[in-house]
Chains A and B, each alone.
Chain A
Amino acid sequence: SQQGEEDPQALSIQEGENATMNCSYKTSINNLQWYRQNSGRGLVHLILIRSNEREKHSGRLRVTLDTSKKSSSLLITASRAADTASYFCAPLTTDSWGKFQFGAGTQVVVTP
């Protein structure tokens, strides 16, 4: 298994703006998942993108995957104060048996 590295570490934006964060990983993956964590709570799964997919949408979320660069991005459009949270990526390798490892995350603050 491997962990993803999120970038930037922190992001501060105004409501209505878009927020973009990136994830890099090292070895071939089966899929990559993004999670959100509100302060003091557990993580919540947002979206899963498989290695043969390039882009996926879910509501205001857009995830891209570039396997040649071993990177993924998460875009939150028209952000709201409720999007304030930490965001984590989790790349899953084919031999990991579902063993997830997480990086330090991107802390997003959306100001009204």
Chain B
Amino acid sequence: DVKVTQSSRYLVKRTGEKVFLECVQDMDHENMFWYRQDPGLGLRLIYFSYDVKMKEKGDIPEGYSVSREKKERFSLILESASTNQTSMYLCASSFINSPLHFGNGTRLTVT
């Protein structure tokens, strides 16, 4: 079974802190994704990576950056956390044009 592991289930950070959200997959998938999910807004794509060191902006990249140094790991970085980044963050991975496999999410609160 494919496993996508997000490093934290719950995270509380202060405004202005640099925050790292880590995601690891064990299926050698080319594609990895970061989404945020807010009530009534569905999932919004933050960043997408289709290979090591390759990345593409999604719909809402402002305030975020990503790193993919190894195929299995995709990190989301909040350079300076703000309260409007309080959200559920979901990582996913897939082969090209194949179904996504999601982690269980990280619920981030920025105070």
**Residues A42 and B103 in contact in the complex (CB < 8 Å), given A98-B96, A98-B97, A98-B98:** yes
Q: State which residues 25-76 of A face B: CB under 8 Å.
A: 30-31, 33, 35, 40-45, 48
Q: Is the CB of B105 within 8 A of A31?
A: no
Q: Is the CB of B43 within 8 A of A102?
A: yes
> Which residues from chain B contact A100 at a C-beta distance below 8 Å?
33, 45, 92, 94, 100
- Against A, the Cβ 8 Å flags (1 = close, 0 = not) of B13-55 are 0000000000000000011010100001111010010100000
Interface of B is mostly: strand
**Residues A33 and B99 in contact in the complex (CB < 8 Å), given A101-B59, A102-B42:** yes
Range for the number of chain A residues in contact with chain B: 20 to 34
CB distance from A14 to the nearest CB of B (A): 26
B101 touches A (CB below 8 Å)? yes
Q: State which residues 59-112 of A face B: CB under 8 Å.
A: 88, 90, 92, 96-105
**Complex Cα distance A40/B99, Å?**
20
A residues at B contact (CB < 8 Å): 3, 30-31, 33, 35, 40-45, 48, 88, 90, 92, 96-105
